[in-house]
């Protein structure tokens, strides 16, 4: 007799299958179909007054199919957009690296603190993340503002060395700092989840065998934590790649990223087909990164 486990549903429980239908239907309609529509829109002509032109038929009633590769060609015509993609990827890489640099000590400290304190410390990491996204950006607008204490202090220091004053607001520095600030919890949480599972006996054994703390870290803790690092890196890299609010508010003209141009195409210039092309390219870049890091993650895994 076959045991009737939860995964092996008996005929009486077949109705359970139907339960998954409503969410599946909802996501099909409001996620999968809109994505396909956007893919389709990337091959259509822009309407005269913005939006989309009809994709079949003419005004005189004759039948024709109006689809084009022009929008995609425009992406490669100049190196403007490719450069912007590259720049956004560099920003995202830099933000990810800084998140690892800042998030690692924090995650390690929490994982090695007494068990009763861990929940509270984790909550302290998540808490700023629960405050509104725009509030967190806005906080940095205050800090970087020309009349703010940070800028004035820096300029006093610069003046004593005889350098011209600088402005932090509307610079790529401001964008990167804020990107790191907003996405740091995404790095700390998966890292902590990994570090917490490490067996302390390994470190004790290494110490008994004479390894100093640097060797203990680089030979044991770091390689074991790589899956956590990869998970965190994906969680930081992808949303950063698609950010438009932070460069919009802190970046000025220098600090814009690819998502700013997407927003511009959809909202200001209302060139939806080209906006769709850029969005699909961003999707492709995001998917590529996930696949790449998944591959790297598994290769590391087999090496160990």
Partner 1 sequence: MKHKNLALILAAGAVFTFLYLPLVIVVVYSLNDSKLNAEWVGFTWKWYDQLFHNRALLTAARNSLMIAAISAGAATVLGTLAGMGMYHYRLKVLPALVLTPIAMPDILMGVSLLLFFIMLNMSLGLISIVLAHITFCIGFVAVSVRARMSGIDPSLSEAARDLGASPWHCFQKITLPLLAPGILAGALMAFTLSIDDFVITFFVAGVGSSTLPLQIYSMVKIAVTPEVNAISTLLMVLTLILITLTARLFPGALRS
Of residues 230-289, those binding partner 1 (CB under 8 A): 234, 238-239, 241-245, 249, 259, 262-263, 266-267, 272, 275-276, 279, 282-283, 286
Selected binder of partner 1 within 17, 115, 116, 299 (CB under 8 A): 17
Should residue 31 be labelled a site residue for partner 1 when binding is judged by CB under 8 A? yes
Residue 291: CB minimum distance to partner 1, A: 12
Site for partner 1 in 40-69 (CB under 8 A): 41, 51
Residue 161: CB minimum distance to partner 1, A: 24
Residue 212: CB minimum distance to partner 1, A: 10
- Mark the segment that binds partner 1 (CB under 8 A) among 64-72, 138-146, 192-200, 221-229: 138-146
| 3-class DSSP string for the chain | CCCCCCCCCCHHHCCHHHHCHHHHHHHHHHHHHHHHHHHHHCCECECCCCCECCCECCCCCCCCECECCHHHHHHHHCCHHHHHHHHHHHHHHHHHHHHHHHHHHHHHHHHHCCHHHHHHHHHHHHHHHHCCHHHHHHHHHHHHCCCCHHHHHHHHHHHHCCCCCCCCCCCHHHHHHHHHHHHHHHHHHHHHHHHCCCCHHHHHHHHHCCCCHHHHHHHHHHHHHHHHHHHHHHHHHHHHHCCCHHHHHHCCCCCCCHHHHHHHHHHHCCCHHHHHHHHHHHHHHHHHHHHHHHHHHHHHHHHC
Contact pattern from residue 66 through residue 95 relative to partner 1, giving x for each residue in contact according to CB under 8 A and a dash for the rest: ------------------------------
- Mark the segment that binds partner 1 (CB under 8 A) among 15-23, 58-66, 78-86, 224-232: 15-23
- Mark the segment that binds partner 1 (CB under 8 A) among 13-21, 65-73, 189-197, 225-233: 13-21
Sole residue written with tokens 């800090």: 143
Selected binder of partner 1 within 1, 2, 11, 23 (CB under 8 A): 23
Number of residues that bind partner 1 (CB under 8 A): 85
Should residue 290 be labelled a site residue for partner 1 when binding is judged by CB under 8 A? yes
Should residue 209 be labelled a site residue for partner 1 when binding is judged by CB under 8 A? no
Should residue 37 be labelled a site residue for partner 1 when binding is judged by CB under 8 A? yes
């Amino acid at each position: 007799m076959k045991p009737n486990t939860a995964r092996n549903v008996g005929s009486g429980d077949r109705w359970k299958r139907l339960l998954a239908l409503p969410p599946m239907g909802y996501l099909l309609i409001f996620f999968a179909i809109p994505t396909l529509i956007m893919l389709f829109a990337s091959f259509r002509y822009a309407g005269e007054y913005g939006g989309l032109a009809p994709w079949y038929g003419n005004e005189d009633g004759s039948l024709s199919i109006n689809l084009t590769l022009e929008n995609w060609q425009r992406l490669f015509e100049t190196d403007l957009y490719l450069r912007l993609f590259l720049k956004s990827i560099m920003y995202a890489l830099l933000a990810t690296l800084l998140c690892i640099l800042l998030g690692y000590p924090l995650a390690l400290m929490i994982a090695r603190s007494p068990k009763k304190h861990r929940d509270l410390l984790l909550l302290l990491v998540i808490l700023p993340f629960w405050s509104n996204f725009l509030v967190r950006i806005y906080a940095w607008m205050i800090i970087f503002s020309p009349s703010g204490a940070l800028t004035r202090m820096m300029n006093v220091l610069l003046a004593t060395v005889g350098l011209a004053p600088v402005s932090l607001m509307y610079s790529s520095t401001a964008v990167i700092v804020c990107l790191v600030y907003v996405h740091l919890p995404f790095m700390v949480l998966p890292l902590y989840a990994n570090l917490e599972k490490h067996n302390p006996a390994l470190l004790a054994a290494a110490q008994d065998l004479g390894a100093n703390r640097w060797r203990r870290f680089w030979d044991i803790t770091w390689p074991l934590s790589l899956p956590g690092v990869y998970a965190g890196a994906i969680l930081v890299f992808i949303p950063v790649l698609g950010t438009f609010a932070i460069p919009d508010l802190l970046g000025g003209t220098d600090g814009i990223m690819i998502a700013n141009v997407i927003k511009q195409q959809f909202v200001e210039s209302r060139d939806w087909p080209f906006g769709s092309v850029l969005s699909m390219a961003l999707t492709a870049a995001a998917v590529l990164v996930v696949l790449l890091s998944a591959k790297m993650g598994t290769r590391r895994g087999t090496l160990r």
